[in-house]
Amino acid sequence: MMFPDLLPALRDLLPDFRGRMTANEPLAPLTWFRVGGPAQVMVVPADEDDLAYLLARLPADMPVTMLGLGSNLIVRDGGVPGVVIRLGRGFSEITVEEGHRIRAGSGVPDVKVARAAQDAGLAGLAFFRGIPGSVGGALRMNGGAYGGETKDVLIEARGVDRAGRIHVLGNADMHFTYRHCGVADDVVFTSALFQGTPGDPAEIAAAMEKITESREATQPIKSRTGGSTFKNPPGRKAWQLVDAAGCRGLVVGDAQVSELHCNFLINRGNATAADIETLGETVRRRVKETSGVTLEWEIKRIGVPAPT
């Protein structure tokens, strides 16, 4: 599928934009599932000021979608209309600051936060090793793993709203809950400041290695997957509900519920986004029928279905 080319009009609107803009850029290679259609326009701002300029000048009715590392995402087969923003090199800086703190751009992979903390002898941030996304995604979803969550270590985040205004948000301003933050969806996070505590680099490295070994042993991380599919309901484990519903190994098209960890869906090679989403909805229906529990998607789904 190809969208109408918006580039000429956008370039007229944004004469001083310093980043990159491309029309109908394929998104499947940028997601871990390796499925989905194109972005109508892919935009990679040069830095925070460039992002603010972009958002301030885009038409109010222009859809804007954020794309991080694509690790917890299904892009539907018809692609994503409007502007898709990806934060690149201008948002990839990571620095250690006084007071046992680390500042990281939203484009920084979470694992790099963990490694930087380990190198600096800062404890409390090793759990980021188990999150296969970026800092921006961790802020938006209160990313967590192995006993830690973003809300536990965040001091403040910076973001740009749809009008191009820059905000500095303290931890309380984020209104964190389980796998969710309450900041308006139109705010694009640009960086975060995290608090660590003094620690022994060797002990931190050992903790990170333990997380790595656990992930490799219990999750299909070498498959085309999107991470945990469903949120854990209060007091329950999503994978146990999926397993009890008889869905381990369930197949739709070329998508399958992982045999190794049944809260993961995998693309066996030729799945479409529709296969994966249909499989997820089938699992949700069966879990509801067998347990009475309605599972909520943790994986984000964006875009439009393929034309029929």
Of the listed 71, 191, 228, 258, which one is catalytic? 228
291 is catalytic: no
Q: Are 94 and 106 in contact (CB under 8 A)?
A: no
User: What is Dmax (Cα atoms) for the chain?
Assistant: 58
Contact (CB, 8 A) for 182 and 103: no
Which residue reads 């290695």 in tokens? 209
Q: From the candidates 179, 224, 284, 286, give the one annotated as an active-site residue.
A: 179
**298 catalytic per annotation:** yes
Residue 17 structure tokens: 């934009």
Torsion of Cα atoms, 95 then 97 then 102 then 107, to 10°: -30
Distance of CA 37 to the CA centre of its chain: 18
Q: Which residues of 29-60 are buried (b: 16+ CB within 10 A; e: fewer)?
A: ebbbbbbbbbbbbbbbbbbbebbbbbbeebee
Catalytic residue among 48, 149, 277, 298: 298
Closest residue by Cα to residue 82 from 276, 302, 301, 308: 302
- Residues with a known catalytic role: 179, 228, 298
